[in-house]
Structure 1
Amino acid sequence: MLYNVEGIVIRTVAYGETHAVVTLLTPAGTLGAMARGAKKPQSRLAAGIQFCAQGIYTVYQGRGMGNLQQVEITRSRRGLREHLDKAAYAAYFCELAASASETYPQGSESLFTQFSALLDRLEEGRDDPEVLARMWEAKILYMLGAAPDWLHCAACGAPFGTRTNGGAVADATTSGTAMDGRVVVSGTAPRPAALGYSPFHGGLVCPRCRDMPAAPRPDGTPNAPPSPGILPVPAALPRILHQFTHVPWNRLGTVQLSPPTRRALDHVLRLQLREFAGVSPRSREFLDGLSSLEAEGERLARCERDENSP
């Protein structure tokens, strides 16, 4: 059987000296195909098996794995392969997409559409790749059914209002609509951190539940409050996470986040993915190492400027 399918290359593995096994994300799920001779420089399939390339793939399906016959490229996304940081984030995004996708033909067209839009935004370079990563993590959690209701306490179910029982502002994020209709998200306001993230409950908790004593130990002795493992988070986090989860890419405009909010998003989403979705991408380790190198480079640059300043 010969058929055409639109797909995005999310993985390419060499098979022998000249062949390659390509994994495509399609509107109907992930599909593996053998690209025979694609590693040869003169192969008409060579461009179509490049990382994050998108196009119309002609596949011959016999017994077992299909064979890639022809490719009509619609988006080469060459820019993602020419920059180390973009390539690293693209690999991470691909790994997350694969974790949320079903095999062909039981997949989700929504996942394919959102993933394609994400790669386009990453290649354009207008957005901070770190912020794009947090957005994609929030959406992947929702697709996997591992995302809580970020606007309600995961322990007692109470909604996060404008003010908590302790008097601190619980929702300090501001959002609006730009002239082009996109949602603008800002979490830069320095407000008190009255909320917390509970790995036990798998979501954000209100101040009352955050400070509530933990359950007694097996021997009956009480634990000292607050409950262990609670991570304090900025007050803006519930609304930001809700918007990251539910607002489509074409509606998300400018996103401005303070350093504390960025760190909290990183910790919360990393824990939620690992503990409740069972997702720990290997490419995340490379991103962490890349971030450490960038931070060290900035530190050395500051030291050099301080030494050269009069």
Structure 2
Amino acid sequence: MRKDYYARFDGIVLFTRKYRENDLLIKIFTKEFGKRMFFIRNVQRANNGLREIAFPYLRANFVGRINDKGFSFLSDVGERHFPKTTIQNIEANAYAAYMVGLTDAAFEDFIPEDTLFDLLWQGLEKIEGGVDPTVVANIFEIQILPKFGVTPNFVSCAICGETQGNFDYSMKYAGVLCERHFHMDERRLHWSRRASYFIRMFSQIPYAKLGTVSLGQQTKSELRKALDMLYEEYVGIHLKSHHFISQMESFINPLDDKQEKTYDNS
């Protein structure tokens, strides 16, 4: 039996899409009802107040009619957080697009995912607040892996449980190996020390405790290579937003590591 009902809900705009001549579809990740496609009629009209929310990455409190099947409908919007900085900065925009793309691919529509909702909300908030979008996106793509059915052990050695020292990743053991057990997997991924260090850190740190992070381009390149290995092996999706990031990064010399690494988790 189909159920339609009005509700107030928090939501994140994932993307917008033109529908017919004057109408618009907006996909919103709602905290209470999962991902839903909302229909807005005559969006081009000057007196249509919903024009103001037709931007990806916008976070707001909405009022609308939720339909269990097909399109849902918006009737009003309350407090909103407009992603001005994210939209205007090409790098911030690219990584935000990657994060919402991963969100859309990670689970089916109509399914509530409040933990992931909070993760995406806080991540977009960090990008809008000026935190390095590369770092924010790295944390997000590591912590969203369980939604793809993947739960790597980044915390301790898969053989002995060691948590200190140098680590590398093993597909064979679905987790990290400490240096004493590198020999257990000849096909380990040979992550750099820096990539291993930050992936292990990023797998555990909540955005709320993320202080000042500044990574050199070489470190970012090593992280990108390591995470791409994981996604290619475990997830196997190829998003346009990721391809754009790869193209964007190709214009940066990965050997130019003039900026020193700093991390302040205060």
Same fold judged by TM-score > 0.5?
Answer: yes
Q: Are 1:60 and 1:67, in contact at CA under 8 Å, matched by a contact in 2?
A: yes
Alpha-carbon distance in 2 for matches of 1:43, 1:158: 61
Deviation at 1:120, TM superposition (A): 1.4
Shift in alpha-carbon separation, 1:21–1:135, aligned structure 2, 3 A: same
**Structure 2 Cα separation of the partners of residues 277 and 110 of structure 1:** 20
Q: Tell me the residue number matched to 1:160.
A: 162
Q: How many residues align?
A: 249
Give the secondary structure class of the aligned counterpart of 2:224. Answer: helix
Which one has the largest radius of gyration? 1
One-letter code aligned to 2:170: S
**Aligned match of 1:67:** 73
Q: Is this contact kept in 2: 1:57–1:70, CA < 8 A?
A: yes
Q: 1:53 aligns with which of 39, 58, 75?
A: 58
Larger deviation, residues 202-211 vs 76-85:
202-211
Q: Does 1:136 align with 2:133?
A: no
> Using a 3 Å threshold, how does the CA distance of structure 1 residues 280 and 158 change in structure 2: closer, same or farther?
farther
Match of 2:38 among 30, 33, 36: 33
Matches within 5 A, 1:140-151: 140-151=144-155
- Does structure 1 retain, via aligned residues, the 8 Å contact 2:13–2:26? yes
Determine the C-alpha separation between the residues in 1 that align with 2:163 and 2:60: 46
Contact 1:48–1:72 (Cα < 8 Å) also in 2: no
1:6 Cα deviation (Å)? 1.4
Please point out which of 117, 120, 127 is paired with 1:115.
120
Q: How far apart in 2 are the matches of 1:22 and 1:85?
A: 23
Shift of 1:248: 1.3
Q: 1:82 & 1:41 partners in 2: Cα distance?
A: 23
Counterpart CA distance in 1 for 2:21 and 2:120 is 31
**Using a 3 Å threshold, how does the CA distance of structure 1 residues 84 and 272 change in structure 2: closer, same or farther?**
same
Equivalent position of 2:169 in the other structure = 197
CA contact (8 A) 2:16 2:25 kept: yes
Name the aligned partner's letter for residue 150 of structure 2.
A
Distance 1:110 1:75, change over 3 A: same
For residue 102 of structure 1, report the CA deviation from its aligned partner: 4.5
Deviation of the 1:115 alpha carbon: 1.2
* Correspondence 1:265 to 2:223: yes
Counterpart in the other structure of 2:251: 293
1:303 corresponds to which residue? none
Q: Percent identity?
A: 24
1:81 maps onto 2:87 in alignment: yes
Q: In 1, distance between residues paired with 2:222 and 2:251?
A: 21
Give the TM-score taking structure 2 as reference length.
Answer: 0.81
- Alignment-mate amino acid for residue 105 of structure 2: S
CA spacing shift, 1:149–1:131, aligned 2, 3 Å: same
Q: Which amino acid aligns with 1:99?
A: A
**Does the CA-based 8 Å contact 2:96-2:137 persist in structure 1?**
no
Contact 2:11–2:61 (Cα < 8 Å) also in 1: yes
Q: Which residue of structure 2 lines up, in the alignment, with residue 43 of structure 1? A: 48
Whether contact under 8 Å (1:101, 1:107) holds in the other structure is: no
Deviates more, 1:261-270 or 1:129-138: 261-270
Report the Cα offset of residue 283 of structure 1.
0.5
Q: Offset of 1:234 from its aligned partner?
A: 3.1
Maintained 8 Å contact 1:54/1:75: yes
Deviation at residue 81 of structure 1 after TM alignment: 1.4
Query: Aligned pair in 2 of structure 1 residues 39, 292: CA closer, same or farther (>3 Å)?
Result: farther
Deviation at 1:25, TM superposition (A): 1.0
**In structure 2, do the counterparts of structure 1 residues 96 and 259 end up closer, same or farther at CA, with 3 Å as the change threshold?**
same
Distance 1:19 1:131, change over 3 A: same
Label 1:83 to 1:270 Cα distance change in 2 as closer, same or farther (>3 A): same
Say if 1:196 and 1:232, in contact at 8 Å, map to a contact too. Answer: yes
Is residue 12 of structure 1 aligned with residue 16 of structure 2?
yes
Instruction: Flag structure 2 segments of 5+ consecutive residues without an equivalent.
Output: 257-266
Match of 1:192 in 2: none
Whether the 8 Å CA contact 2:168–2:196 is kept in 1: the answer is no
**Superposed CA RMSD:** 2.6
Give the alignment partner of residue 90 of structure 1, picking from 96, 109, 126: 96
Name the SS for the 1:147 alignment partner.
Answer: coil
